[in-house]
């Protein structure tokens, strides 16, 4: 069921069993997990059903650290959330990502990969990807043209990705949500504060506002914050009437440990021979179902003390001006990316016979190598409240994104290892780009990010080291939970969406158990 919050009477109090804040990938999948149950599920979305300037402006904020994209451009405040412009890349986190690594400060989740094994297949169905098969050998067997490069697999392996159509949650699941009798979606419902009891140990309600000046209260037994990493932190920090530092922030952790995936061109590779087919490494939007990228083995990462990353192969002819992730040129209008993807999809679907793109890697000997790398958890990389407020009176966010020497070391050393391994097996040679050949701490202006915001309410079993416990519940607040990449303790090399949904499934099951 759907209600436009603007039609509610000012001062309304609405009650349910579970209240979900944010209707993106996590919020919608969480709600659908409760479809046709005896429980009343409230799903609150700040925006409407399309990306509009006024709600987007609530995301505006200043960036004071490492240069970043305009803050309001990279997240979408509308039903479906940021899946409205995601590219559909899916891959599960690896066992390594959950482990404590001595060379990665503050690494180590309180859960291991096995804790998510049962939930990843369920997440597959929400993002509409293929079988729960992540071994390159499986995909090689499906198609003789899809073969991995002949690296020593104990050192450099081919990590598989699968591609969602991509599923635009706002379009794909709108009817399901509307028709579900026990799911109550409220659009244009902006949560501006989490209201607790005096000791801030129990959430008693949510204050919700509209641009028209109406204020409501939503109450439930359990509350799930399912916003992105920035907005989850912002809401906790801004809910400071009972907890002066903000909810869950008794140890000054909310907003800290902000992480991104670094996307940057690092090297080129020259192969001895052009492989008969490079289909394994190609990705054509809206067509490719699975492809591989290069990655260092767990053993090689440990030996070289580097962060986890994957490597995309591009044609050597790609010029910096064509890099899609360039920060310096990115417009602040969030519609830009949405429109661009819509146009691409329309072009694709309008093409006679479907995909018309030629094999763009096959026949080549020369490639550019682009990294997609986790950043090290870093307490000083953070978002915090600004003095300026938005139209609804909430303090804006300021981003202070910071990188460390470990990131550059990891990029440099990883591509050196790939070069050594390519030479070892006689595959070819690798050349580092100039900016990566020195220990200079400066970054190339071609550094980009994946718009993957993680870590601001990190998971840890010790409240002094994490905001949420291993179940995703905010330490010290028994009925406030988080379903978001904001809980990620480390960022992994995989894009976060699939893992966000898997963790949402896990939280959902737990909440069902708590509800009896």
- Gap between the Cα atoms of 342 and 159, Å rounded: 28
Size of the site for other proteins (CB under 8 A): 23
54 binds other proteins (CB under 8 A): no
442 binds other proteins (CB under 8 A): no
305 binds other proteins (CB under 8 A): no
CA atoms in the 13 A half-sphere facing the CB of 485: 24
Distances (CA, A) of 61 to 57, 218, 303, 370: 9, 27, 40, 29
Q: Minimal distance in Å, beta carbon 184 to other proteins?
A: 58
Q: Minimal distance in Å, beta carbon 408 to other proteins?
A: 15
426 binds other proteins (CB under 8 A): yes
Which region among 160-168, 311-319, 325-333, 434-442 touches other proteins (by CB under 8 A)? 434-442
Binding to other proteins in span 83-122, by CB under 8 A:
none
Q: Minimal distance in Å, beta carbon 267 to other proteins?
A: 8
The crossing angle, in degrees rounded to 10, of helices 120-127 and 497-515 is 120
- Which candidate, 411, 154, 130, places its Cα nearest to that of 290? 130
420 binds other proteins (CB under 8 A): yes
395 binds other proteins (CB under 8 A): no
Q: Three-state DSSP class for 347? A: helix
- Asked if 50 contacts 65 with a C-beta cutoff of 8 angstroms, the reply is no
Which of 54, 179, 429, 464 is the binder for other proteins (CB under 8 A)? 429
Which of 33, 106, 374, 421 is the binder for other proteins (CB under 8 A)? 421
- Which candidate, 96, 92, 142, 85, places its Cα nearest to that of 122? 92
Q: Read off φ and ψ for residue 427, nearest 5 degrees.
A: -80, -40
Q: Minimal distance in Å, beta carbon 270 to other proteins?
A: 6
CB atoms within 10 A of CB 27: 28
- Gap between the Cα atoms of 516 and 510, Å rounded: 10
Per-position x/- string for 239-278, each x denoting binding to other proteins as judged by CB under 8 A, each - no binding: ----------------------------x--x-xx-----
Name which of 108 and 428 has its Cβ closer to other proteins.
Answer: 428
- Gap between the Cα atoms of 269 and 447, Å rounded: 19
Name which of 340 and 429 has its Cβ closer to other proteins.
Answer: 429
**Residue 129 carries which DSSP code?**
-
Which of 10, 437, 441, 462 is the binder for other proteins (CB under 8 A)? 437
- Asked if 408 contacts 443 with a C-beta cutoff of 8 angstroms, the reply is yes
> Apex CA 89: angle with CA 312 and CA 255, to 5°?
100
Name which of 251 and 431 has its Cβ closer to other proteins.
Answer: 431
Footprint on this chain of other proteins (rule: CB under 8 A): 267, 270, 272-273, 415-416, 419-426, 428-434, 436-437
């Amino acid at each position: 069921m759907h209600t436009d919050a603007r039609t509610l009477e000012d001062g309304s109090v609405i009650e349910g069993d579970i209240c979900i804040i944010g209707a993106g990938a996590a919020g919608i999948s969480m709600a659908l997990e409760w479809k046709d149950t005896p429980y009343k599920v409230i799903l609150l979305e700040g925006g409407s059903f399309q990306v509009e300037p006024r709600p987007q402006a609530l995301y505006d904020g200043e960036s004071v650290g490492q240069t970043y994209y305009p803050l309001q451009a990279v997240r979408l405040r509308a039903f479906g959330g940021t899946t409205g412009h995601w590219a559909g890349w899916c891959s599960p986190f690896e066992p390594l990502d959950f482990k404590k690594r001595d060379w990665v400060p503050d690494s180590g989740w309180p859960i291991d990969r096995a804790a998510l094994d049962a939930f990843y297949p369920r997440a597959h169905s929400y993002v509409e990807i293929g079988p729960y098969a992540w071994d390159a050998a499986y995909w090689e067997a499906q198609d003789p043209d899809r073969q991995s490069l002949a690296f020593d697999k104990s050192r450099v392996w081919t990590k598989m990705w699968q591609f969602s159509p991509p599923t635009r949650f706002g379009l794909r699941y709108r009817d399901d949500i509307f028709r579900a009798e026990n799911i109550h979606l409220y659009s244009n419902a902006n949560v501006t504060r989490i209201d607790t009891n005096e000791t801030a140990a129990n959430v008693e309600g949510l204050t919700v506002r509209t641009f028209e000046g109406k204020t409501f209260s939503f109450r439930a037994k359990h509350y799930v914050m399912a916003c992105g990493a920035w907005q989850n932190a912002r809401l906790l920090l801004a809910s400071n009437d009972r907890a002066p530092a903000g909810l869950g922030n008794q140890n000054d952790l909310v907003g800290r440990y902000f992480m991104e995936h670094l996307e940057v061109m690092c090297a080129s590779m020259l192969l001895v021979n052009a492989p008969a087919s490079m289909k394994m490494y190609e990705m054509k939007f809206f067509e490719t179902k699975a492809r591989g990228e290069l990655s260092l083995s767990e053993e090689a990462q440990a030996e070289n003390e580097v962060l986890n990353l994957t490597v995309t192969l591009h044609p050597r002819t790609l010029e910096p001006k064509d890099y899609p992730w360039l920060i310096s040129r990115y417009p602040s209008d969030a519609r830009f990316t949405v429109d661009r993807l819509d146009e691409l999809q329309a072009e694709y679907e309008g093409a006679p016979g479907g995909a018309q793109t030629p094999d763009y890697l096959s026949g080549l000997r020369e490639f550019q190598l682009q990294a997609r790398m986790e950043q090290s958890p870093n307490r000083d990389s953070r978002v915090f409240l600004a003095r300026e407020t938005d139209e609804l009176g909430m303090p804006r966010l300021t981003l202070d994104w910071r990188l460390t020497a470990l990131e550059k070391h990891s990029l440099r050393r990883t591509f050196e290892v790939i070069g050594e391994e390519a030479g070892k097996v006689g595959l070819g040679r690798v050349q580092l780009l100039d900016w990566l050949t020195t220990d200079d701490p400066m970054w190339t202006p071609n550094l980009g990010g994946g718009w993957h915001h993680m870590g601001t309410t990190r998971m840890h079993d010790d409240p002094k080291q994490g905001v949420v416990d291993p179940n995703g519940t905010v330490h010290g607040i028994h009925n406030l939970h988080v379903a978001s990449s904001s809980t990620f303790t480390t960022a992994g090399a995989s894009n976060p969406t699939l893992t966000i949904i898997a963790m949402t499934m896990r939280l959902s099951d737990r909440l069902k158990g708590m509800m009896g």
